[in-house]
Amino acid sequence: MEAALWYVLSGTRGGPNRARVLRAVDERPRNPNQLAEALDLNYDTVRHHLDVLADNDIVHASGDDYGAVYLPTDRARNNWDVVEEIIEGLEQP
Amino acid sequence: MNTLATAAQITVGVNLLFLGSLIWVWVRNYLALRSKHTLGMLVFASLLFIENGFALYYYLLDPDLSVWFSTQVPDIAWYAMLSFHVLEAVALAFLAWVTLD
C-alpha cells in the first residue's frame, strides 16, 4: 500500500494535483464539483484524479449517485504519515 | 552501414526520450512537493540518462570508439548489446506508461 500511495501522489504526472485532491477530501468529504471549484481544476481532471485515487484504494465514494462525496479510505488513513510527508511540501490552497 | 549498430543507436535514442519525459515529470513534481521520494526517482532517472548518453556518444561521436563500433564489432556481440538496450526500452516504456497518468 505504501509504495502505491507515494508513487501515485509523488511519482506520476498528476501526482501533485492528486495530493491536493486528497488533502481537500481529508478536510471534509466533497463531490467532484466542489473539488473542481476549491482547487481551480477542470471537472474532468478532478474526475480522472478521483478515479486513479479510487483505483488505488486511496479514496472512496460515499453513495454512488451523481452527487456522491469522496473521502479517504481506511487504508489511506492507516498510512497517513506517508500522505503528510508528501502534502507538507504543497503550497497552501 | 551496419544495421545492428543502427538499431542499437536508435534504441538508445528511444531510451533517452523515455528518460527525458520521466525527468521532466519528476522535476516538476519535485518543485511542487519537495518529496524525497520524487528526488530519489529523479536521481535514478538522471543517472540512467547519463548512462545512455555515454552509450550514444561512444556509438556516434567518440573519435576512436565510434569507428570501432561501426566497423569492428561482430554481429554476435551486437545481438547481445542490443538485447540489453531493448530490454531497458521496454522497462522504461512501462514506467513511462504508469508515470504519465
How far is the C-alpha of B43 from the C-alpha of B34, rounded, in Å? Answer: 13
The rounded average pLDDT for each run of 10 residues, N- to C-terminus, in chain B (101 residues) is 89 98 96 90 97 96 93 93 97 96 83
The pLDDT value recorded for residue B14 is: 98
The pLDDT value recorded for residue A66 is: 67
The pLDDT value recorded for residue A93 is: 57
Residue pointed to by grid coordinates 489511506? A76
* Bridge partners, A62 (sequence order): A69
Residue in chain A nearest B33 by alpha carbon:
A89
Query: Does residue B8 contact residue B59 with C-beta atoms inside 8 Å?
Result: yes
How far is the C-alpha of A61 from the C-alpha of B24, rounded, in Å? Answer: 32
Residue pointed to by grid coordinates 478532478? A46
User: What is the count of residue pairs from A and B with beta carbons less than 8 Å apart?
Assistant: 48
* Bridge partners, A30 (sequence order): A70
Residue in chain B nearest A83 by alpha carbon:
B35
B41 touches chain A (CB under 8 A): yes
The pLDDT value recorded for residue A1 is: 60
pLDDT, tens digit, for every residue of A22-68? 999 999 999 999 999 999 999 999 999 999 999 999 999 987 666 78
ipTM of the complex: 0.83
Task: Supply the pTM of this predicted model.
Answer: 0.88
